[in-house]
Amino acid sequence: MLVDFLLQKGFQNITVLDILAAAIDRAKALLGEKSKLVKWVVSDITEFKTDDHFDLWHDRATFHFLIRNSQIAAYLQIAGRSINNHMVVGTFSKNGPDKCSGLPIKQYTEGKLQNQLKKYFEKISCINQDHITHLQTKQNFLFSSF
């Protein structure tokens, strides 16, 4: 888990957001006592309200679920005003699936993602990477830093 790794490396002021309370509960259980060192938020990212500012924003697989322009705009406004330094985004690439967990997603190329984020962020790098799921299927992701 990224959170466990960050805590081991001495990072502080960590916030974890997930739309599912069950996912938050599972992550807390895995961390045990260390979970008290993390701020946990259950929210749809497009409705996330915070006055906090983040040095690093890591989105491992949320952005591609935002398929309506209004959702993307809300996400970008929240991220744009909340991120001080860096953003890492993992989305399905053009070679990835067109659905995830039965839900429609948006696939991205490096150029398309850069164009979506350019109002608030400058691209540093993008890489494509295959991810092997627990069912042994391959999904191609585009991981990008801004």
> Are 6 and 60 in the same domain?
no
Same domain, 35 and 50: no
Q: Are residues 3 and 65 in the same domain?
A: no
- Per the structure, the complete domain to which residue 57 belongs is given by 46-145
| Spatial distance between the Cα atoms of 56 and 64, rounded to a whole number of angstroms | 19
pLDDT of residue 1: 79
How far is the CA of 16 from the CAs of 12, 34, 35, 112, 133, in angstroms?
12, 13, 10, 27, 22
93 lies in the same domain as 26? no
For residues 30 and 53, membership in a common domain is answered with no
- Span 48-66, mean pLDDT? 95
What's the rounded mean pLDDT across residues 18-31? Answer: 96
Residue 89 shares a structural domain with residue 24: no
Residues 73 and 24 in one domain: no
pLDDT per position as a tens digit, 89-143: 999 999 999 998 899 999 999 999 999 999 999 999 999 999 998 889 899 999 9
pLDDT at 9 over 90: yes
> Do residues 89 and 25 share a domain?
no
- The pLDDT, as a whole number, for residue 42 is 98
pLDDT in tens, 68-92: 999 999 999 999 999 999 999 999 9
* pLDDT at residue 35, rounded to an integer: 97
Residues 33 and 59 in one domain: no
Q: How many domains does the chain have?
A: 2
Residue 129 sits in a domain whose CATH number is 3.40.50.150
Does residue 106 sit in the same domain as residue 140? yes
Residues in CB range of 117: below 8 A, 6 or more apart: 76, 87, 89, 123, 146
